[in-house]
């Protein structure tokens, strides 16, 4: 990687839902690059979270003290996918990622996301083969690699994700496109260096950011550890 920027995306799944706006402002003040917004439907995954109305409610909070907008990184763990996309566009989402198994027409769904002015991503579960992205690379702005099974925060990082990150990094580099490689699940100060060294340039961190309550310290610790893994 020639130009390297690590983006840290705190997952609101581990935030205090009773004080969501405040939590969003606090992680942005602490250096969050994106706000990761996990949408679960109790169908594609066995959990139920939030939807477009909550996305819209946090949107005004997604900016720095200087007024620079901070993108909302929507991770859809829902099936079907398409009907929610215009709703999230309206609600202020900047990026939408979905799971290819959850859409009958992946290419069409990717086109829909971009047609509404958002960045488009595909998420791969631990057991999902990488070839599912092969024929849509030109429609992708990011690939999200799940390093836990989707549905819950606070799970342990699955170690076999590391060689998969390396393989995905090679695939992305082969295209010559600026496709983000985001890793989601179980990221912490003990593994972020290896995750970044393997080729991730964007990491989601839920419990690693929100547990403990000192968000500045948590995000700085992640960055400091990651810095040792840069190539």
Catalytically annotated residues: 38, 184
The strand pairing partners of 121, in sequence order, are: 97, 142
Encoded tokens for 93: 């989402």
Buried b (16+ CB within 10 A) or exposed e, 88-125: bbebbbbbbbbbbebbeebeebbebbeeeebbbbbbbb
3-state secondary structure at position 75 = strand
Tokens 């909070």 belong to which residue? 61
Q: How far is the CB of 9 from Zn ion (least distance, A)?
A: 8
Q: How far is the CB of 135 from ligand DX5 (least distance, A)?
A: 25
Nearer to Zn ion, 16 or 173 (CB): 16
Encoded tokens for 3: 């130009």
Using the contact rule CB under 6 A, the part of the chain among 7-15, 63-71, 134-142, 221-229 near ligand DX5 is: 7-15
Q: Which of 58, 185, 194, 196 binds ligand DX5 (CB under 6 A)?
A: 185
Strands in 142-146's sheet, in edge-to-edge order, are: 7-10, 202-205, 180-184, 142-146, 119-124, 95-98, 72-77, 35-40
Residues of this chain, 158-217, that bind Zn ion according to CB under 5 A: 184
Q: How far is the CB of 11 from ligand DX5 (least distance, A)?
A: 4
Encoded tokens for 105: 């027409």
229, HSE (Cβ side, Cα atoms, 13 Å): 21
Is 62 within 8 Å of 21 (Cβ atoms)?
A: no
| 99 sits near Zn ion (criterion: CB under 5 A) | no
Using the contact rule CB under 6 A, the part of the chain among 27-35, 50-58, 151-159, 160-168 near ligand DX5 is: 151-159
Distance CA 32, CA 15 (A): 13
Site size for ligand DX5 (CB under 6 A): 22
Q: How far is the CB of 75 from ligand DX5 (least distance, A)?
A: 5
Q: How far is the CB of 46 from ligand DX5 (least distance, A)?
A: 10
Distance CA 101, CA 106 (A): 8
| 205 sits near ligand DX5 (criterion: CB under 6 A) | yes
**Contact map string, positions 21 to 60, toward ligand DX5, x by CB under 6 A:** ---------------x-x----------------------
- Point out which residues bind ligand DX5 (CB under 6 A): 11, 13-14, 36, 38, 75, 148, 150-155, 184-187, 204-208
């Amino acid at each position: 990687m020639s130009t390297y920027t690590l983006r840290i995306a705190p997952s609101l799944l581990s935030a205090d839902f009773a004080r969501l706006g405040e939590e969003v402002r606090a992680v942005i003040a602490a250096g969050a690059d994106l706000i990761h917004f996990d949408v679960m439907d109790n169908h594609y995954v066995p959990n139920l979270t939030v939807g477009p109305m909550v996305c819209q409610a946090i949107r005004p909070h997604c900016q720095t003290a200087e007024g620079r907008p901070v993108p909302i990184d929507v991770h859809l763990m829902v099936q079907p996918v398409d009907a929610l996309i215009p709703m999230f566009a309206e609600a202020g989402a900047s990026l939408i990622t979905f799971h290819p198994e959850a859409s009958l027409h992946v290419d069409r769904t990717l086109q829909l996301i971009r047609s509404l002015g958002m960045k488009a991503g595909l998420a791969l579960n631990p057991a999902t083969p990488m070839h599912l992205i092969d024929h849509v690379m030109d429609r992708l702005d990011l690939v999200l690699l799940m390093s836990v099974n989707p549905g819950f925060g606070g799970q342990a990082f699955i170690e076999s994700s590391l060689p998969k990150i390396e393989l995905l990094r090679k695939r992305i580099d082969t295209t010559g496109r600026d496709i983000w490689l985001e890793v989601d699940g179980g990221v912490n100060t003990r593994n972020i260096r290896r995750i970044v060294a393997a080729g991730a340039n964007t990491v989601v961190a839920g419990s690693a950011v929100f547990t403990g309550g000192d968000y500045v310290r948590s995000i700085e610790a992640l960055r400091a550890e990651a810095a040792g893994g840069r190539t």
